[in-house]
Amino acid sequence: MTVHHDKPDAEDLKQRLSPEQYHVTQENGTEMAFRNAYWDNHAEGIYVDIVSGKPLFSSRDKFDSGTGWPSFTRALDQENVTLHQDRSHFMLRTEVRSAHSDSHLGHLFDDGPAPTGQRYCMNSASLRFIPKEDLEKEGYGEYRRLFE
């Protein structure tokens, strides 16, 4: 399987992203727990890749993991995320990256609730939230059905 990346160059990304967004997505950083945009967001909508705009997660699969980061039981479209073994920080973890922009999103753990038992623990800095009422206007109208 060939993964096709639509990754802008570093200078373009440095212009478009905040320093924290750049650090998280391009340098595999991690933002502060409980000090990020979406850990406590309860609005209905979808979360898209801050770099490529590809849909990643739905508020319908979001849950309060108590970790201080936005957590989801599943990806909205599995084709938009890739999983990689991460051996950094003396741990073995599963890293989640954007399939289209190759951005670092967060990590996947096997301690989530039913039905999947999985916890996609994401960095808010790698995401952009699209409220359900803005889906059409933002070009994501096909996802409106999730909230009807």
The pLDDT tens digits of the residues spanning 102-124 come to 999 999 999 999 999 999 999 99
103 three-class SS: coil
pLDDT band at 5 (very low <50, low <70, confident <90, very high): low
DSSP strand pairing (93-98 vs 127-131): unpaired
Higher pLDDT, 6 or 141: 141
- Closest Cα to residue 108, out of 124, 126, 87, 122? 122
Mean of the pLDDT values across residues 112-141?
Answer: 97
pLDDT at 1 over 90: no
pLDDT, tens digit, for every residue of 51-101?
999 999 999 999 999 999 999 999 999 999 999 998 887 888 899 999 999
pLDDT at 3 over 70: no
Annotation marks residue 121 as catalytic? yes
Q: Which residue has the tokens 């996609």?
A: 120
DSSP letter for each residue of 127-148 = EEEEEGGGTTTTT-GGGGGGG-
pLDDT at 2 over 50: no
**Which of 121, 127, 130, 135 is labelled catalytic?**
121
Q: Supply the pLDDT for residue 29.
A: 95
Q: Which CATH architecture has domain 32-147?
A: Beta Complex (2.170)
DSSP letter for each residue of 17-64 = S-HHHHHHHHS---PPTTSSSSTT---SEEEEETTT--EEEEGGGEE-
